[in-house]
Amino acid sequence: MGENIDVADTMEDVPVVTLRDLVVFPKTTVYFEVGRESTVRALKEAMNSKQLVFTVAQKDPAVENPGIDDLFETGTLAEVKQIVNMPGKIIRVVIVGKERMKLKFLETKDGYLSGTLESLPETGDTSYTLEMVALVRGIRDLFQIYANENGRFNHKLIDEILKITDLDTLVYQICSNIPVSYQVKQKILSEDSVIDRHEQLSVVLSREIGIMRIQEDISKRVKEQVGSNQKEYYLREQMKAIHKELGDEDSENDADKYIESLKKLKASKKVKKKIKDEIRRFKLTSSSSSENAVIRGYIETLLDIPWKKESNSNTDVVHASGVLDKDHYGLKNVKERVLECIAVRAIKKDGQSPVICLAGPPGTGKTSVAKSVAKAMDRKYVRICLGGVRDEAEIRGHRRTYVGAMPGRIVTALRSAKVKNPVMLLDEIDKLGSDYKGDPSSALLEVLDSEQNKHFRDHYVELPVDLSKVMFICTANTTDTIPKPLLDRMEVIELPGYTSNEKFHIAKEHLLEKQKIANGLTKNQLNISDRAVKIIIENYTREAGVRNLERKIAQICRKAAMEAAKDADCRIRVSERNIRKFLGTEKYTIDMANTEPDTGIVRGLAWTGSGGDTLEVEVNVMKGTGKLELTGKLGDVMQESAKIALSYVRSVASENLPDKYFEEHDVHLHVPEGAVPKDGPSAGITMATAIYSAVTGQKVRADVAMTGELTLRGRILPVGGLKEKILAAKTAGIKLVFVPAKNKKDIDDIEKEILDGINVKYTQHAEEVFKEVLVQ
């Protein structure tokens, strides 16, 4: 290792060589190259003096001009043995480590670093003892195992290291030759005790041995896998050749495409395994066999289902409100519920999607609302029409054992949407049928149950499909025909008919512009006055929705388009004066209230599928045998109401009538428009008032209308359809309306514009009505 050099406890002005990624140990010879100017000068200065340098590692190799804080405190005093100039201003250096020392002070001197060093005393007992012998043997054995596992050490070097008997020298030689990071080596160098250095090195060697063994295991497995893959590749190439000879090359190509699609598919391991198994079966079948087509269809279905793919919902409540208001006028309850759902989703991302059922008459915008909801939430929209569906397989799909089997409509809709969280409209859910093939409404119980639909099983797919992210919106004209268990799973929102004012706004803000665009008219070519729009609503349509209103506006636009085709510069104005030219004679007239009080004639209020209506109940009393004659195509419930009304009147009016009056007189009750079927209990108070007026001869006020179910004791029970009934009364010019007292909560929900000009009185008993409406 060279001649001995006396080292003082403190040394000054020692040239410092800073090293990157390298640690020099005492009693070792190290070869390295340097190119940094300060390092080159330090080495040359050493060669001109005592040939001693202090080698110390940098904490961060990237630092170009390190200071004392950028260097480790412990380094090695070394003797420079040789310097060789290389091309490119690089010097190759050979040094021999002498002793561990501590850097106390660092300065720059004549372009190189110079430092003050302090020797580091060796702690612990380093004398030759049995313990030291044991430590030497232990580290030798460990290094032997390490060298064997590594397989890259020179055997001559191994032999030289194993011959060393001094523990300190052995530790330094092993540390200098093993390929570990400079931080690990620096940690060993910094230990003041040879025992501690031995312990640190033992830990490092043991860890490296473990890592190399793991690497070897991994390498073996990889080689086995590569061998297996090569074998599989060879066999597949043979199979391709066989398929090509048999004419089944298309199946093989399709199988490769399916495998590529499977790699890109986001799905669970269970789903991917199922698809992989089916692809394997597909490869083994001939392209001419029927089973090949069945498997092909099944694989394509599974690959098309969005197992884990979903779109990002827009949870901006202000944006959603703007979209809903732009697309639809009114519908306050529906909009509020949708905005509530969006607000909850903005706060709780994994919340359950609601199942909403929009119930109302035709043409009130139920289907178009679902489209607007999807637009407001930036979700995909799919529609499933359930009208007339009678087979349970339409919902759950057919089992694959059947010829021509296919998935149900729910899975088909998901495939169409390509995401697992669309807005799915189940249209006309009240018109589901059932027969010997099953009950589709029962199959929908699982689909619409948020606790069950996370694992919906389609008979065709045979794997659980997650429907929990789907927002279901159902539509129905009535909830009466929907089975109770199914109805219980839905949140029903009633969409009553539009008022005349709402229809006017819808026509002006939506329908007119829509039809102008549909018929190629510009904004200036056609103008319909407000009064003309109101006449169309009142005299040309009679409906709860706006479909016929849109048809009438479309009819006007078509006639205007004819004029525009003749003269592109024409300007057409439709007003109340010329509206007949476009729509013909008026179809409907409003049955206005009578002008004078009359006997036996009372105006009732009715709810119809197209909105509210008023109907007169007429009663005549004549000599007879006490019969009750009912005409006007009355239903069973309405006939029973008429009998109850007569029984009540007999019980309260007998005192003011001659004896045996009812036994000697017949009562004939008629409701006009005899061809129109009528039913329901809400005309009970109306019929009782008409009968009481007819038998007592007292007249009934002409500006009064009423509704309510009557009991035998004269109590008036609540009824439905109040909004439509009040609107019909207002249209007919009625000033006073009697409603059951228990319907007050329903009246409170009616818009103020409908109640303006009408006096609503609440009543609990028929006698209260008689006192108010009967005049002498």
The catalytic residues are 682, 725
Residue 701, CB-side half-sphere exposure with 13 Å CA sphere: 17
Q: Answer yes or no: are the C-beta atoms of 665 and 622 closer than 8 Å.
A: yes
The structure tokens listed for 704 are 């009064």
Question: How far apart are the C-alpha atoms of 566 and 564, rounded to whole Å?
Answer: 5
Q: Answer yes or no: are the C-beta atoms of 124 and 195 closer than 8 Å.
A: yes
The structure tokens listed for 281 are 């079966």
CA angle 275, 277, 278 (to 5 degrees): 65
Picking from 592, 691, 598, 576, the residue whose alpha carbon sits closest to that of residue 641 is 691
Question: How far apart are the C-alpha atoms of 309 and 455, rounded to whole Å?
Answer: 16
Q: What is the CA radius of gyration of the chain?
A: 48
Q: What is the 3-state secondary structure (H, E, C) of 4-57?
A: CCCCCCEEEEEEEEEECCCCCCCCCEEEEEECCHHHHHHHHHHHHCCCEEEEEE
What are the contacts of 232-237 at 24+ separation with CB within 8 A? Answer: none
Instruction: Say which DSSP state 58 is in.
Output: B
* Edge-to-edge strand ranges of the sheet holding 471-476: 381-385, 423-427, 471-476, 355-359, 491-494
Picking from 708, 711, 702, the residue whose alpha carbon sits closest to that of residue 685 is 708
Question: How far apart are the C-alpha atoms of 332 and 354, rounded to whole Å?
Answer: 18
Question: How far apart are the C-alpha atoms of 45 and 110, rounded to whole Å?
Answer: 10
Q: Answer yes or no: are the C-beta atoms of 561 and 514 closer than 8 Å.
A: no
Buried b (16+ CB within 10 A) or exposed e, 104-123: eebeeeeebbbbbbeebeee
Residue 218, CB-side half-sphere exposure with 13 Å CA sphere: 6
Question: How far apart are the C-alpha atoms of 559 and 255, rounded to whole Å?
Answer: 59
Q: The dihedral of CA 271, 272, 273, 279: what is its sign?
A: positive
Q: At what angle do helices 155-162 and 167-177 cross, to 10 degrees?
A: 160
Which of helix, strand or coil describes residue 576?
Answer: coil
Helix (H) or strand (E) holding 240: helix 194-246
Which of helix, strand or coil describes residue 410?
Answer: helix
Q: Answer yes or no: are the C-beta atoms of 454 and 467 closer than 8 Å.
A: yes
Picking from 188, 166, 164, the residue whose alpha carbon sits closest to that of residue 23 is 188
Q: Which residues touch 240 (CB under 8 Å, ≥6 apart)? A: 249, 252
Question: How far apart are the C-alpha atoms of 303 and 257, rounded to whole Å?
Answer: 11
Q: Answer yes or no: are the C-beta atoms of 116 and 44 closer than 8 Å.
A: no
Q: How many CB atoms are located within 10 Å of the residue 404 CB?
A: 7
